[in-house]
Chains A and B, each alone.
Chain A
């Protein structure tokens, strides 16, 4: 656009456009309304004696709460790991030409997606009532090894089984959609080169499926972080249960919940940033140029990156910055 034109009147760069940008009065009205509402809410919170800031501060540093955070993180990480690994296996089984494998995966997903995760948590925790002893041996034959169910499946393991096995059913559908989004020509090209089914899946199909798999997996992880609070029903103390135990004693329900929510928000924010970078990694080759990272964007802003000349001459009006 800025190239010198053969037939232009003046030699050199044509004069940059000077124009008054479109005004957005509606946006400013919106900002005003939101500012008033925010001020009202701020006032209501700051002057409400039920919101005891000292209690919030104390709760934030309470060792039980801190320990609860670790349990929440551990549960989230391990059950998502189970979910992703299990989901990939189930998705591959489901798409397999072998009818036994695909039917098995179908039934698994049917059961684990079709019943509440709360029920599954309680189920795994009470499995001792169903089979007091778990053993390895030949069915109806001799036993080689056996163990008391309650010893074998402590509360934490029961929580993991409940959350992880349930998650695998959801992840299976996400991974399946990802695999099916990859062009068939890719599999064909890999097979034509003599690659095995397994290598084709691992090297060619899954890396491309990742672009479709990651955004919903990010959602699942954030959702899992919060779902871990359900393990309260089997009396495992994670972040929410830790808070619950405190306000059950002190009756400071709202301040404790505010403190707990701050931690949940902090953790989900960190996960969101992580997701951004993973998505960027798997965008390799899909976009001609990778989008800049937020840090690069900031750096560009401060370096005063060469702005197109046409733009620098625009009369800067009401709009100033980027998106509000």
Chain B
């Protein structure tokens, strides 16, 4: 059941979290998270509101600073350099360098409203990776095509539906060629009929072998696409396992109570 925590022999895991703690002032939001996300895995994170799912996701790309424990992405410590038994904080520039490899998709899209869809996608490759404008645009168009929005390249976010905006946001994250994608409730702000188009894009990504951590309330998606699922509550991992296993046969009372509400 909890075979997730066992270290893998062959390759190192994409994300390893060892007793990760995070507090805001006196409020402890993450109270020791242990988990492991393997390469190429679709890892679903579920749990009630306020359980710390977003916080954990934001720790992975160092939008939040971890207060305790160790968090590794692709074998490297997040936010710090370890020398001997000392930790050294990374400089802003070094943190930014690591974030390039981690794509993030937000619940509220966070597209840049003053840029067209294509400009949104092209921005980071040109500014951060110093790719040439024409190369970036060409690849940007391919990515928009892939999420089914090539004809919307010149539209501003305000001219797009929620589902279209979220697909542009996914394309924008993919433009940096990340090795890990973080999704924080990507469909929660969408009308029901628009959820499918975003999940389809995510399903396609999963099929191509992208490592994805998905915070979601879409249990159908978790069951169908997920390789692993963790149920969090109150800042701790309550239960973990294969999605089908956990969703059909939850072991803990809290998991059962939560699932009875969302299923």
Contact = CB atoms under 8 A, between A and B. Distances in A.
Q: Taking chain A's interface residues, is the majority helix, strand, or loop, or is none over half, making it mixed?
A: helix
A199 B61 CA distance: 18
A196 B112 contact: no
A81 interface: no
Contact of A193 (B113, B116, B128, B156): B128
B90 interface: no
Given A193-B176, A195-B127, A207 B97 contact: no
A304 interface: no
Contacts of A188: 63, 106, 110
Interface size class of B (residues with CB under 8 A): 20 to 34
Contact of B96 (A195, A208, A285, A287): A195
B102 interface: yes
A191 interface: yes
A282 B113 CA distance: 11
A197 B158 contact: no
Interface string A190-213: 111111110100011001100000
B170 to A, nearest CB: 12
Given A197-B92, A285-B156, A189 B127 contact: no
B173 A193 contact: yes
A193 B158 contact: no
B127 A203 contact: yes
B99 A192 contact: yes
A286 interface: yes
Interface string B71-101: 0000000000000000000001100111110
A191 B99 contact: yes
A286 B127 contact: no
B112 to A, nearest CB: 6
Nearest to B102: A192
B86 to A, nearest CB: 23
A287 B158 contact: yes
B63 A194 contact: no
A288 B158 contact: yes
B124 A193 contact: yes
A193 B172 contact: yes
Contact of A196 (B96, B108, B111, B156): B96
Nearest to A283: B114
A208 B112 CA distance: 9
Given A186-B110, A190-B112, A193-B99, 4 more contacts: A191-B63, A192-B99, A285-B157, A286-B158
